[in-house]
């Protein structure tokens, strides 16, 4: 008998890779996703990656639908929940705060209420380094000031606080909030990756788009920051490392009750220009780029202190920037026929 793990948002970028890691670690993922930013086909491909004979169990639905969650918990014994479902664009959250608080905060409240009703008390929550806002120094540790600069970041912090209060109120709860830095890359098979529609928000999907189009050029937002090459520095962590971080966190939950927060990053910064060079070398062609003006609200540099996660769970990121770029490019290339057909 394997343990069932309910994965909300499991058809999304990090969720689908985590489903693969869960199967490989001997768990059975059960996915609920409303497909607002995903394609159910990702779950077919996730099953293909793991060579599962069975398709992944999937409910199309919203985590704000308490009756649906009750039905899921009544149908399957669930050992723990990994909660990815949410909206994730900082810019969109500034324009649409109600939608973001509703989906991210109300969605989480609905989920933990259903878990409480079902007697399921193990939870991994997808938080974000955006809860730190613009950190004053790096590496950023979990005790740094929490000053999110957007409704998106606020929504993550609200949920973290809700989860801390839950664990204080009821000693049965075992909760880990994982603050991801910059998840990037794709599964090395080229079967799973980050789905982007319109203009991507994250740098690696932008690089994929630029490299696969003759007409596009990357605008680097600012070349006069106080960093070694003048461009912003971030902590890019391979999505499969992030996925495996969830397995480590799930195992850590067995250590005891309470709510903890952990940074999930590599613990090292990479500049925009370093990433551009690594990507050019992965795809074997020049990536056209030009330095533009700074973008409002961008911090010059930050990367994670990963010591708490390493000490508590033994997890460290194993993959390199070259792996991130090579795997993302493989995924991008596998998308070309689909993109051409959709055009
Ligand atoms: N990707 C990043 O850079 C990043 C960084 C920090 C934190 N996070 C967080 O990690 C989580 C997963 O991120 P991702 O990059 O995989 O995003 P994603 O958009 O690819 O995945 C989120 C999934 O949740 C689903 N979803 C959204 N709202 C839902 C709802 N109310 N009910 C059911 N399903 C819903 C979407 O359809 C999607 O499949 C998110 O909570 C995000 O905020 C992501």
Of ligand 1's listed atoms, the one at least distance from the Cα of 180 is 6
Domain-embedded: residue 323? no
The CA 91 to ligand 1 mean position distance, Å, reads 15
Residue bearing the CA closest to ligand 1, atom 43: 88
Rounded to a whole number, what is the distance in angstroms from the first to the last CA of the chain? Answer: 46
For atom 28 of ligand 1, the residue with the nearest CA is 86
Residue 137 is part of which domain span? Answer: 4-184+235-265
Does residue 13 lie within any of the structural domains?
Answer: yes
How many angstroms separate the CA atoms of 102 and 293, rounded? 34
In a domain, 243, yes or no: yes
pLDDT of 40 higher than 60: yes
The protein residue with its alpha carbon nearest to ligand 1, atom 9, reads: 126
Tell me whether residue 270 is in a domain: no
Q: Quote the CA–CA distance of 27 and 272 in Å, as a whole number.
A: 37
Distance 38 CA to ligand 1 centre (A): 9
Q: How many CA atoms lie within 13 A of 293 on its CB side?
A: 3
- Mutational pocket test of ligand 1: of 13, 192, 193, 245, the residue with most ligand atoms within 8 Å of the beta carbon: 13
| pLDDT at residue 196 in the model | 82
Which amino acid residue places its CA nearest to atom 12 of ligand 1? 84
Which residues does ligand 1 sit against, CB inside 6 Å? 8-9, 11-15, 33-38, 62-64, 84-88, 103, 107, 126, 128, 180, 183, 202
Distance 300 CA to ligand 1 centre (A): 26
| 176: in domain | yes
For the cut 90, the answer to whether the pLDDT of residue 197 exceeds it is no
Atom of ligand 1 nearest to the CA of 63: 32
The pLDDT of residue 331 is above 50: yes
Residue 147: alpha-carbon gap to chain centroid: 20
Interval between CA 150 and ligand 1 midpoint (Å): 16
Q: What is the pLDDT of residue 190?
A: 95
**Is residue 303 assigned to a domain?**
no
Q: Whose CA is nearest to atom 38 of ligand 1?
A: 12
**What residues are labeled active site?**
152
Rounded distance from Cα 285 to ligand 1 centre (Å): 31
pLDDT band at 343 (very low <50, low <70, confident <90, very high): very low
C-alpha torsion angle, residues 112, 113, 119, 122 (rounded to 10): 10
pLDDT in tens, 62-100: 999 999 999 999 999 999 999 999 999 999 999 999 999
Instruction: Give the number of the atom of ligand 1 that is nearest the alpha carbon of residue 42.
Output: 39
For residue range 261-311, list pLDDT tens digits in order: 999 999 999 999 999 999 999 999 999 999 999 998 889 999 999 999 999
Q: How many CA atoms lie within 13 A of 268 on its CB side?
A: 12
- Closest atom, ligand 1, to C-alpha of 130: 6
pLDDT digits (tens, 9 = 90+) for 155-190: 999 999 999 999 999 999 999 999 999 999 999 999
Instruction: State in Å: Cα 319 to ligand 1 middle.
Output: 22
Domain-located, residue 210: no
Spatial CB neighbours of 197, under 8 Å, sequence gap ≥ 6: none
Least confident of 108-112, 129-133, 134-138: 134-138
Whether 341 shows a pLDDT value over 80: the answer reads: no
Q: Which of 37, 93, 108, 235 to mutate to test the pocket of ligand 1 (most atoms within 8 A of CB)?
A: 37
Band (pLDDT 50/70/90 cuts) for residue 198 is confident
CATH number of the CATH domain containing 170: 3.40.50.720
Provide the number of structural domains found in the chain: 1
Pocket test for ligand 1, best of 21, 72, 84, 204 (most atoms within 8 A of CB): 84
Instruction: Examine residue 301 and state whether it is found in any structural domain, yes or no.
Output: no
The ligand 1 atom nearest the CA atom of 183: 3
- Closest atom of ligand 1 to 152 CA is 43
């Amino acid at each position: 008998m394997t343990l069932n793990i309910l994965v909300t948002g499991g058809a999304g970028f990090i969720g689908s890779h985590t489903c693969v890691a869960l199967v490989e670690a001997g768990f059975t993922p059960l996915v609920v996703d409303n497909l607002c930013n995903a394609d159910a086909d990702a779950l077919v491909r996730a099953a293909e990656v793991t060579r599962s004979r069975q398709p992944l169990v999937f409910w199309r639905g919203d985590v704000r639908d308490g009756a649906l969650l009750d039905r899921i918990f009544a149908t399957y014994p669930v050992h723990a929940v990994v909660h990815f479902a949410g909206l994730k664009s900082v810019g969109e959250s500034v324009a649409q705060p109600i939608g973001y608080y509703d989906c991210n905060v109300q969605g989480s409240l609905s989920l933990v209420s259903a878990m409480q009703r079902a007697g399921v008390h193990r939870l991994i929550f997808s938080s974000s380094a955006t809860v730190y806002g613009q950190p004053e120094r790096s590496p950023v540790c979990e005790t740094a000031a929490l000053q999110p600069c957007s409704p998106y970041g606020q929504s993550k912090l609200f949920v973290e606080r809700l989860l801390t209060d839950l664990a204080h109120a009821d000693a049965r709860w075992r909760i880990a909030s994982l603050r991801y830095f910059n998840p990037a890359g794709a599964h090395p098979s080229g079967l799973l990756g980050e789905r982007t529609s319109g203009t991507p928000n994250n740098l690696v999907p932008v690089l994929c788009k630029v490299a696969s189009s003759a007409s596009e050029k990357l605008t680097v937002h600012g070349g006069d920051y106080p960093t070694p090459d003048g461009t912003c520095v971030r902590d890019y962590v391979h999505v499969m490392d992030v996925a495996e971080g969830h397995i480590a966190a799930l195992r850590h939950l067995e250590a005891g009750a309470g709510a903890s927060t952990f940074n999930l990053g590599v613990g090292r910064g990479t500049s925009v220009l370093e990433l551009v060079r690594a990507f050019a070398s992965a795809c074997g062609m020049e990536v056209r780029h030009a330095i533009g003006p700074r973008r409002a609200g961008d911090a010059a540099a930050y990367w994670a202190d990963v010591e708490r996660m390493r000490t508590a769970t033994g997890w460290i990121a194993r993959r390199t920037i070259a792996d991130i770029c090579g795997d993302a490019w493989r995924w991008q290339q596998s998308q070309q026929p689909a993109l051409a057909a959709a055009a």
